[in-house]
Amino acid sequence: MDLAEAMRTQRAIRRLKPDPVDDEVLLRCLELATRAPSGGNRQPAEFLLVRDRRSKAALGRLYRQSWSVYGGLGKLLYGSHERTRKIIEAVDWQVDHWEDVPVVVVACLRGVALPVPGIARSSRYGSIYPAIQNFLLAARAEGLGASLTTLPLWSQWAARRALGIPWNVEPVAAIPVGWPRGRYGPTTRRPVERSVHVDRYGNRPFLRGDG
């Protein structure tokens, strides 16, 4: 698939079929994930493939706990907003069918997250999120559905215990993967001119059309 097409049509696919996904397909996606850059080329990203139903159920319990709060607030504050309501409904479906997802990919970082200033935290997670995005794009190219969520990992202690993750490896994100029930399509984003500033924040000449 053309890279630009994959980028323009890669979106969160939460409604997945229970049909299995071959290891060969997943490994192709994960091999591309490992091609992402990392700080000092340390390559600290690791990936845990969770297929066991009991392990998925353990993550599912954590997901439901956090979604009951986060999703409840979303419904209260934005439930009348059509686009947001559709997202909430899709997450509701994912939460209800979590154990039926063929595989959940848990992206992890080797090393311990220390209580350091924000820029240092940003540097640390800058060594995992490029790999996650590579994986999502590779999944799109394979025709797989996938979505990124951190809610099942709100308690890293409980997630580590459920999945046997050692104390010096940090679970960062959960990515349920499977064959989509729906279809991909172009994503809707605000015009790039609204997001680009020049020299100083707030100077958006492209938006004015005179840059």
More confident position, 211 or 96: 96
Q: What is the mean pLDDT of residues 58-71?
A: 96
Dist. CA 189–CA 196, nearest whole Å = 14
- Neighbouring C-alpha atoms within 13 Å toward the C-beta of 179: 7
Q: What is the mean pLDDT of residues 134-143?
A: 96
How would residue 104 be classed by pLDDT, with cut points 50, 70 and 90?
very high
